[in-house]
Amino acid sequence: MITDPLIYVRGLHIAATLLACGTAAFLVLAAEPAGTKPRLDFAIVRYQLTVLIWVALGLTVMSGAAWLVLVASDILGVSLADVCLHGGAWVVLFDTRFGLVWCARLVLALLLGVLIHRPAMRSAQLATAATLTALLALVGHAGAAPGLAGDVHLASDIVHLLAAGAWLGGLPAFAWLVWRARRAKSVAWSDFAIRSTHRFSVIGILSVGSLLASGLVNTWFLLSGPRDLVTTDYGRLVAFKIGLFAAMVAIATVNRFYLTPRLPKASALRALQFNSLAEIALGLCVLLFVGMLGTLPPSAHRHVAPEGIPPDAAFVHIHSQEAMADVMINPGRPGKADVTIRVAREDLSLFPAKDVRLALEPPKQGGAHPVEQDAVEQADGRWLVNGVTLTEPGIWTVRVFVRPDHGELIPLDAPIVIER
């Protein structure tokens, strides 16, 4: 039994985002061009799809708020009640990248809700929906990877999300359209269903191709090898996700090459509706796995916190393609503290550094000055900064600048919580 609420909240949020943006794309790219014939009252179609988009945007905002509270509880190490009663979510909202992305996506969700009511602004609707979906990549594993490899991974994840939104997110609207065509039993609705099906079929083909290509790229970055698909928890979830995706593609293939040419026969419409509902069910299972994957470290990045960390110390592990750093601030509360930094390679061996510099940026709302100081190498290979003054509690940003023996400066950064 899955008990972590973050899994369900993440899955719901991603599903609601894809539904809102996918329905908007279906309306603009498939339904609207197919509904230009004068025999069909397209205003009814537009209104009902608009209501679906508004409902999905409402779920997006509410699940996003729940996600924010859960993240704040995890970062601050306090209960959900404390976050809600003492405003801990506000600190995360304005002092972390997750919070800033959350604010931007909230604005985009509200903007899409307004724009979708203006039929003439098709390009703005698509651009807003695409950006709302794409920004999800910044709060995933791809958004945490630096350098050129991180940029490639992030771009691939954005393509993956956009393709999933266009296909999976548009399926409920398509299933509703087929259901309406079956109920109406009129020539106008049959013609509309046929034209919309052909257009959505093209979107589906392009989306499947994009999902396959971007999925391969993402798997390359997230797994250390094919063996992970059966030997690690993360890899097994990826394998299940791939299996469900293959089943969805098989159903979509039947829809495209067997059922679509037989429209508008009643049997074809009925089978098309049933298959679309089956694809939606499989897609929801995929999104549940996505919610689970977001809470696990990729198998290509396995890290165990070192032993011997004092209970009142603040600790963070920072990972990049070039190097990793374990940063411990002891004690992790306002006042004088010592900072220990261990810089390592991917295999956890010590990273050969010429020098290491530490920067600590205080919470933005406090107005305190940042701390910046060179670290001193110790006999055991760690780097030490003594007597750092922490002026206030909250979410600080720790930055470690590593200068290797050869090559360019490596920047590493992450939030770290300083307790009261």
- What's the confidence (pLDDT) of residue 143? 54
> Of the CATH numbers 1.10.357, 1.20.1630, 3.30.530, 1.10.3470, which one belongs to the domain with range 5-293?
1.20.1630
Q: Is the dihedral of CA 189, 32, 286, 4 positive or negative?
A: negative
Cross-strand pairs, 317: 326
Place of tokens 């969805």: 248
pTM of the model: 0.77
- Distance of alpha carbon 319 from alpha carbon 146, whole angstroms: 9
- What's the confidence (pLDDT) of residue 408? 81
- What's the confidence (pLDDT) of residue 151? 80
Tell me the mean pLDDT per 10 residues along the chain, length 420: 79 95 94 73 85 96 92 75 74 78 94 90 94 90 61 89 94 92 82 90 93 89 80 85 93 91 87 93 90 73 66 85 85 92 80 91 73 91 91 87 84 84
- What's the confidence (pLDDT) of residue 383? 94
Phi, psi values for residue 42, rounded to 5°: -70, -15
The bridge status of strand 335-344 relative to strand 353-361 is: unpaired
Instruction: Considering the chain, tell me which residue range(s) the CATH 2.60.40.1930 domain(s) occupy.
Output: 314-418
C-beta separation of 57 from 20 below 8 A: yes
Residue by residue, DSSP assigns 22-39 as HHHHHIIIIIHHHT-STT
Closest CA to 17 of 296, 297, 290, 298: 290
Please provide the CATH number assigned to the domain covering 314-418.
2.60.40.1930
- Distance of alpha carbon 279 from alpha carbon 175, whole angstroms: 10
- Distance of alpha carbon 309 from alpha carbon 301, whole angstroms: 21
Residue by residue, DSSP assigns 333-353 as SSEEEEEEEEEE-TTSPBP-E
- What's the confidence (pLDDT) of residue 299? 58
- Distance of alpha carbon 255 from alpha carbon 372, whole angstroms: 61
Tokens standing for residue 276: 């679309």
On the CB side of 318, CA atoms within 13 Å amount to 23
- What's the confidence (pLDDT) of residue 37? 63
- What's the confidence (pLDDT) of residue 303? 56
Instruction: Considering the chain, tell me which residue range(s) the CATH 1.20.1630 domain(s) occupy.
Output: 5-293
Phi, psi values for residue 362, rounded to 5°: -75, 170
